Structure 1
Amino acid sequence: DSRIKAFAEQCAKALSPGGNGGGRPTFTDYFATYDLSSDGRAPSADFKQIFRTAAADSDKIDADVADKQVRLDMFKFVTGTIEQTAALVTGVLYELARNQNIQNHLREHLDSELDEHQQQVKIDQLDRLPYLENLLKETLRKYPLASVVRRVATKPYIVPGTSDRCTIEPNSLIVVPVHALHHDAEHFPEPGEFQPHRFPGQLSSAYMPHGSGPQSYIGKHFVELEAKLVVAMLVSRYEVHLDSSNPGTPPDSLDPRSFAGVRLKVVNRSGVRESRMYTSLQQLHNGNNEKFMFF
């Protein structure tokens, strides 16, 4: 298809160092600046250089191929987190709309940290908003992005506490029910309630919204950072409510896609109608000082 080919060419150009021709930072410039060891300078120890060096050290791949492969992996990393971020933000906003006291408490924290005329949230400001971190953790507990985690056993394992010495054999597929663990009252009292005050504190081993161990979701920190930025900017500027005239269908915590039936009302805190909002996450309907958000 000619459109797909054109899109691929544009992506390749944008992802190539200096490919935009306008002197503006490229896609990769936002993540890392790297130096080739062959140019006489010491290579940097940033994220991209680590992967590039590891790939180039192989006898089966040259530096140019390694560079292209890393750019491709980074592109997958960023684009692959879009859906995860949207699902997390959706869950947070839905719970804030249902729990106005929690929303007001978060807004108090945001107002104390963010300037009234500030257009962007800074990373160091997010670090000073622990309640926002707690909100994300509780949302991921109630609506885990993956309801199960699958692993393959690499060696025999005897399950402790089993009278018949139940053994998991090598190459056996193990399915960990993350959603069930997150909604187990033994680990999280009143699991059906949204309670950000569960955190901080020592996280239970049953808490694994991104999986666990070295095979956990590689984009988890990036997803949470993006979600914090979006939620902070939205809640600092708008009030979020359930649309009482058309509340829609309550979402199923097992299926993030079920949020598609939820309708929220977004009210500008200043009472001034604005022409644009974060349209990547919702569809807006014009009103006086009210906007409607569909998931």
Structure 2
Amino acid sequence: MKNLLGVLPKAISQQLENLRENILDDVEEIRIRVNRPLEVTAKGKPYFIRYIPTENDAEQLINRLANFSFYTLEEELKKGYVTIEGGHRVGIAGKVILENGQVKAIRYFSSFNIRIAREKIGAAEPYVPYLYKGRWLSAMIIGAPQAGKTTFLRDVARLISSGVPERGIPPCKVGIVDERSEIAGCVRGVPQLHFGPRVDVLDACPKAEGMMMLIRSMSPEVLIVDEIGREEDAQAIMEAVNAGISLVMTTHGETYRDIQKRPILKKILSQQAFDRFFELARGGRPGFVAAIRNADGDLIKSNEGVSRA
């Protein structure tokens, strides 16, 4: 948080520094909206601070994000967010400029959403017996927004890349397609978080294209991707699975039953492309696993610790 506070306008960073320590340590998002109260979210709960950000605050922030050179941000602004040192992602809203029906830029910045990138080393370690059976299994991580899907996914990637010596599991080659620069939090292509020695990242690359690029050029044993959104993504997932590559991905939803209703996932589920489904829930910590299911969707472990495997 200290590095992040240094990027913010002084008036705003001072307000955040005055937060109670138990709130500051758990901040998930900082929302800065011009002429509206400063908002922070900690453990899923919003807190409003009696400070009203000004247009001058917005101008200071965007200048700092761009290092006073808007040219450096031109491509990122088209996507509506900027990734900064530490892997934190800053979403931006304001007046959109179009060219031939496509987003060219954003001007007159009015809102910023700073999502704090957190690592929880060891979050996935208790679940290695459900992720590894002589090889790393394909797994889908299901959860609502801010349930800790990306936090859990990062630690799975770290475990696969580093290996688990105490269980006799060797390090494997991991390819990450990070379309929204959210998994690895790359800055100038370099991951800002810890992933072990055998990770290769395609940053800001569409998933379908990225998966095929990595398969052709980097020979990954496991692919890591976030939420799929296009039919092409689903096709690329099936290509990877049929090529013998394990895949770990996240998807939005509360339960396995929720994702069964999504058209883009129906084919994947019908072909049992995934061996495990992890249902996450808010349990007081990021990446709290409420249930684990097998390829058929049957419960094999619940959060009460009842195992049926």
Answer yes or no: same fold by TM over 0.5. no
More strand by share: 2
Using structure 2 for the length normalisation, give the TM-score: 0.28
**Structure 1 or 2: more helix by fraction:** 1
Q: TM-score, normalised by structure 1?
A: 0.29
